[in-house]
A and B are shown apart, each in its own frame.
Chain A
Amino acid sequence: MPSILILFAHPAFEKSRTHKELIRKISGLENVTINDLYEEYPDFDINVEREKELLLKHDILIFQHPFYWYSMPALLKQWMDLVLEYGFAYGIKGTHLRNKKIFNAISTGGSFSAYQKEGHNRYTITEFLAVFDQTAFLCKMTYYPPFVVHNSHLLSSEEIEDFSNQYLEVVTGLRDGIFSEDDLVRANYMNNLIGRPYTL
């Protein structure tokens, strides 16, 4: 059974409704480890060795974070800068992460239609996430499509609850190997694999 590592980064977790619910739902699952980065490293002083060991122990990595300014919170960037070292994650000898799977689980205030060529964000989520895609590629990992929660500020508690169940389904589905590799690589959102796609 593949094991999953959630690399969770939220600087104001105590104020977040969505991520609180998402995290709550997947806490305590078998073979799922949650690494709460802002709790672990409030001073941005990342213990690189610990992080590397965690990476080596898991098969599927999920960057879970709010989609701040079309990107990630500062600490996650710091994490990538320090942990994905040359010789470990990339480079000739940097093969330790080879064949691991990785994707983003993000929340954003913008709607699905806003993240289109014609929408006011002008690019799709997938385009914005090119940074992660290429990072995965350089580290010889497989980049999966993102799990996205749109309109996060407008959601009712019931809708949030619904999304957290979807997230649970995605995480356990990956862990239990339910999805076919073809579908995984082809889908634009992880949401589609459990039959809950966003549509225009």
Chain B
Amino acid sequence: MAKETFLFQAIIFLASAIIGVNIAKRLGLGTILGYLLAGIVIGPFVLGFVGEEGKDLMHVAEFGVVMMLFVIGLELEPNLLWRMRKLIIGLGGLQVLLTTAVIGGISFALGQTWQSSFAIGSILALSSTAIVMQTLSEKSLLKTASGKSAFAVLLSQDIAVIPLLALFPLLATKLPPIQRDNFISNFNGWQQTFIVLGAIATIIISGRYIIGPMFRWVAKTRQRELFMATALLLVFAIAELMVIVGLSPALGTFLAGVVLANSEYRHELESDIDPFKGLLLGLFFMAVGATIDFNIIKTHLFTVISLVFGLMLLKGAILFALGKLFGLKGDQNMLLAVSLAQMGEFAFVLFSFAGQYGLIDPELLSLLVAVVAISMALTPLLFVLNERQISPRFFTKEKDIRPQDDIDEQQKVIIAGFGRYGNIVGRFLRANGVSATILDNDSDRVDLLRKFGYKVYYGDASRYDLMKAAGAEKAKIIIIAMDTPQQCLEMVSLVKKDFPHLKILSRAYDRNDSYDLMEAGVDHLYRETLDSSIRLGADALKMLGQRAYQTQRAAKTFLKHDENSLSELIKYRNDSKSYINVAKEQITELEELILRDMKDEEILERDSGWDSDTLRKGAIKD
């Protein structure tokens, strides 16, 4: 029976995770909320598949948190930290301290104990790394001023988790069951301290001198699963060591992660641990969802809603003030405030941790978990609101254009994306008297371009209303030069659907991307590297002593030949785009390409009009 229950439970959790995450992703809510929703649905208040065992499950799932901290440790490159020290310590540090103080102060004023106030303030100060990083990278905003600042703040929040994990037990009003009786309690005070320090030293020293050689020894077997096993063993062993000496396992693995961040196996460790971390964390979030007490929320519905808005407004205001202090301009600053105003997944971790130590009243805890979850769910909506309403209205305001200008200056060309690629196209067109309308989502760039009199619209180009505002209905040509292939493809499908009269000229990344664009119906595509690599080859031929004109013609011929092969090889493209086939496909394709290079008569017998050999033979015959 017990076995059956286990299997049944596993099926419930896995199935609901798959369905929940899928739906959440499609709604643009992100995986974490997907897990949380799945947890709520299978929890006692909706379907009731899991009841009280949710709490037990939480203990298992907490291992996901341990792994997450290990991975965070691995990702903390000392170089990166040093380069961003000003933002991390200044902007990030101030954000954590100030927000903790303000929220903590309010809780204290509302009658919480000082321990509880501190825990609530510090936990709610943190934002959601997962949601923010994903959103910023999807919108390719990571490299903008606000993206960098947001990244720095998130980094310092990640680091702040460590001292919080260490501090909470010290503030504890009750001890969690597992810690009441352990190995270390048999010793007296100074011995305990000695053992703890010894354990930490063991981690650091073995990270430096033992783990490296051990991984090298395992790697020699070339068995991937063995390497994975070693990585798991490492995390388990450190966690166990920490439990023995009475410290938090998360702390220990974080430390180990930092020590290994510089090792040659860093990336491998990260990718091996990642799936386990992801699943266990997912389980953890589901357990959190399953343990939310909806009866409490129902009775305090108004409190929950006002808490969500109050807290987000407060956090946003603090971020906005700090951003200003650190020199962020209008809309960049707003973006920072908007992107970090929510509470994050660390709150779930720290809430359950704080709950174990009796720092926060369980009823309040349930409320706060719901508040955090709702604020996370609101984040994508907030981004959209900022992009469409707040930013254009208050920050990147259009300069007043006289009405008659509107008619005279009807732009015939729209450039979507003015980055590395688009800016060259735009400058070239402008140098030749064509001033295109530009759509770009880097506000620094937008400001600069406006200074030079370019007609620029700020925002995500693949939005219908922005395209319409930019005059897509009357334009003739759209040049798609956005930063990622995915963005370009989305743009193509928007144009095809809503503005089919536009001629599309699109940047393409490689052959594969070209095929995607061709299948999407783009007739004019330009592979980024093609022209420049052929030009390089032609220069090499010239340096080897070939005639300049001959190499120039050879380059032109090869360019044409390669573009012909592209349109012919798409016929052979394998329909199954499965992960395994891609590499194999690429190598077969290369083989086919080289064969075609060798067979093309255009290349071999070019310019026979100038070929005196045939003339000579003819002349001799006469």
Tell me the A residues contacting B by CB distance below 8 Å.
Answer: 11-17, 38-40, 42-43, 75, 109, 151-154
Residue in A15, A43, A151 whose beta carbon sits within 8 Å of that of B552 in the complex? A43
CB distance from B604 to the nearest CB of A (A): 14
Instruction: Please tell me if B201 contacts chain A, counting CB pairs below 8 Å.
Output: no
Residue in B550, B551, B618 whose beta carbon sits within 8 Å of that of A12 in the complex? B550
**A151–B618 CA distance with the chains assembled, in angstroms:** 12
CB distance from A56 to the nearest CB of B (A): 25
Contacts beyond the supplied A38-B548, A153-B615, A154-B619: 19 A-B pairs with Cβ under 8 Å: A12-B610, A13-B547, A14-B546, A14-B550, A15-B610, A15-B611, A16-B612, A17-B612, A38-B547, A39-B548, A40-B548, A42-B547, A42-B551, A75-B549, A151-B619, A152-B612, A153-B612, A153-B618, A154-B616
**Chain A residues whose CB sits within 8 angstroms of the CB of B568 once the complex forms:** none
Residue in B549, B610, B611, B615 whose beta carbon sits within 8 Å of that of A39 in the complex? B549
**A19–B619 CA distance with the chains assembled, in angstroms:** 18
**A109–B615 CA distance with the chains assembled, in angstroms:** 8
Q: Please name 22 pairs of A and B residues whose Cβ atoms are closer than 8 Å in the assembled complex, sorted by A.
A: A11-B549, A11-B610, A12-B550, A12-B611, A12-B612, A14-B546, A15-B610, A15-B611, A15-B613, A17-B612, A38-B547, A38-B548, A39-B547, A39-B549, A42-B551, A42-B553, A43-B552, A109-B615, A109-B619, A152-B612, A153-B616, A154-B619
Residue in A15, A39, A42, A151 whose beta carbon sits within 8 Å of that of B612 in the complex? A15
Residue of B nearest to A155 (CB): B616
**A43–B551 CA distance with the chains assembled, in angstroms:** 10
**Chain A residues whose CB sits within 8 angstroms of the CB of B615 once the complex forms:** 109, 153
Residue of B nearest to A39 (CB): B548
- The range of chain B's interface size is 10 to 19
Top-8 shortest CB links A-B: A12-B610, A42-B552, A42-B548, A153-B619, A42-B549, A38-B549, A153-B616, A39-B548
Q: Is A12 within 8 A of B552, CB to CB? A: no
Instruction: Please tell me if B400 contacts chain A, counting CB pairs below 8 Å.
Output: no
Q: Is A12 within 8 A of B607, CB to CB? A: yes
CB distance from A126 to the nearest CB of B (A): 23
Instruction: Please tell me if B214 contacts chain A, counting CB pairs below 8 Å.
Output: no
CB-CB contacts of B595-622 with A at 8 A, as 1s and 0s? 0000000000001001111011011100
CB distance from A7 to the nearest CB of B (A): 15
**A10–B170 CA distance with the chains assembled, in angstroms:** 89
Residue of B nearest to A17 (CB): B612
CB distance from A46 to the nearest CB of B (A): 13
Residue of B nearest to A111 (CB): B619
CB distance from B499 to the nearest CB of A (A): 36
**Chain B residues whose CB sits within 8 angstroms of the CB of A154 once the complex forms:** 616, 619-620
**A186–B611 CA distance with the chains assembled, in angstroms:** 35
Q: Is B612 within 8 A of A14, CB to CB? A: no
**Chain A residues whose CB sits within 8 angstroms of the CB of B612 once the complex forms:** 12, 15-17, 152-153
**Chain A residues whose CB sits within 8 angstroms of the CB of B549 once the complex forms:** 11, 38-39, 42, 75
Q: List residues of B (531-559) whose CB comes within 8 Å of A's CBs.
A: 546-553
CB distance from A175 to the nearest CB of B (A): 27
**Chain A residues whose CB sits within 8 angstroms of the CB of B546 once the complex forms:** 14
**Chain B residues whose CB sits within 8 angstroms of the CB of A15 once the complex forms:** 610-613
**Chain B residues whose CB sits within 8 angstroms of the CB of A39 once the complex forms:** 547-549
CB distance from B605 to the nearest CB of A (A): 12
CB distance from B24 to the nearest CB of A (A): 55
**Chain B residues whose CB sits within 8 angstroms of the CB of A38 once the complex forms:** 547-549
**A154–B610 CA distance with the chains assembled, in angstroms:** 16
**Chain A residues whose CB sits within 8 angstroms of the CB of B618 once the complex forms:** 153
**Chain A residues whose CB sits within 8 angstroms of the CB of B548 once the complex forms:** 38-40, 42
CB distance from A129 to the nearest CB of B (A): 21
**A12–B611 CA distance with the chains assembled, in angstroms:** 8
Residue of B nearest to A18 (CB): B612
Residue of A nearest to B613 (CB): A15
Interface centre among B546, B549, B550, B612 (most CB of A within 10 A): B549
**A152–B612 CA distance with the chains assembled, in angstroms:** 9
**Chain A residues whose CB sits within 8 angstroms of the CB of B607 once the complex forms:** 11-12
Q: List residues of B (561-578) whose CB comes within 8 Å of A's CBs.
A: none
CB distance from B618 to the nearest CB of A (A): 8
**Chain B residues whose CB sits within 8 angstroms of the CB of A12 once the complex forms:** 550, 607, 610-612
**Chain B residues whose CB sits within 8 angstroms of the CB of A153 once the complex forms:** 612, 615-616, 618-620
CB distance from A139 to the nearest CB of B (A): 27
CB distance from B86 to the nearest CB of A (A): 49
**Chain A residues whose CB sits within 8 angstroms of the CB of B550 once the complex forms:** 12, 14
Residue of A nearest to B610 (CB): A12
**A42–B553 CA distance with the chains assembled, in angstroms:** 8
CB distance from A180 to the nearest CB of B (A): 36
**Chain A residues whose CB sits within 8 angstroms of the CB of B620 once the complex forms:** 153-154
**A16–B549 CA distance with the chains assembled, in angstroms:** 14
CB distance from A34 to the nearest CB of B (A): 14
Residue of A nearest to B538 (CB): A42
Q: List residues of B (510-550) whose CB comes within 8 Å of A's CBs.
A: 546-550
**A75–B618 CA distance with the chains assembled, in angstroms:** 27
Residue of B nearest to A154 (CB): B619
**Chain B residues whose CB sits within 8 angstroms of the CB of A16 once the complex forms:** 612
CB distance from A43 to the nearest CB of B (A): 6
**A68–B483 CA distance with the chains assembled, in angstroms:** 49
**A11–B550 CA distance with the chains assembled, in angstroms:** 8
Interface centre among A12, A16, A38 (most CB of B within 10 A): A12
**Chain B residues whose CB sits within 8 angstroms of the CB of A109 once the complex forms:** 615, 619
**A15–B553 CA distance with the chains assembled, in angstroms:** 15
CB distance from B606 to the nearest CB of A (A): 10
**A151–B541 CA distance with the chains assembled, in angstroms:** 32
**Chain A residues whose CB sits within 8 angstroms of the CB of B619 once the complex forms:** 109, 151, 153-154
**A43–B555 CA distance with the chains assembled, in angstroms:** 11
CB distance from B94 to the nearest CB of A (A): 57
**A152–B616 CA distance with the chains assembled, in angstroms:** 9
CB-CB contacts of B158-188 with A at 8 A, as 1s and 0s? 0000000000000000000000000000000
**A13–B553 CA distance with the chains assembled, in angstroms:** 13
CB distance from B156 to the nearest CB of A (A): 54
**A75–B547 CA distance with the chains assembled, in angstroms:** 15
**Chain B residues whose CB sits within 8 angstroms of the CB of A152 once the complex forms:** 612
**A15–B616 CA distance with the chains assembled, in angstroms:** 12
**A71–B547 CA distance with the chains assembled, in angstroms:** 22
Residue of A nearest to B619 (CB): A153
CB distance from B552 to the nearest CB of A (A): 4
**A42–B549 CA distance with the chains assembled, in angstroms:** 4
**A151–B615 CA distance with the chains assembled, in angstroms:** 11
**Chain B residues whose CB sits within 8 angstroms of the CB of A14 once the complex forms:** 546-547, 550
**A38–B551 CA distance with the chains assembled, in angstroms:** 11
CB distance from A160 to the nearest CB of B (A): 12
CB distance from A93 to the nearest CB of B (A): 30
Residue of B nearest to A110 (CB): B619
**Chain B residues whose CB sits within 8 angstroms of the CB of A151 once the complex forms:** 619
**Chain B residues whose CB sits within 8 angstroms of the CB of A11 once the complex forms:** 549, 607, 610
**A11–B548 CA distance with the chains assembled, in angstroms:** 10
**Chain A residues whose CB sits within 8 angstroms of the CB of B610 once the complex forms:** 11-12, 15
**A159–B553 CA distance with the chains assembled, in angstroms:** 32
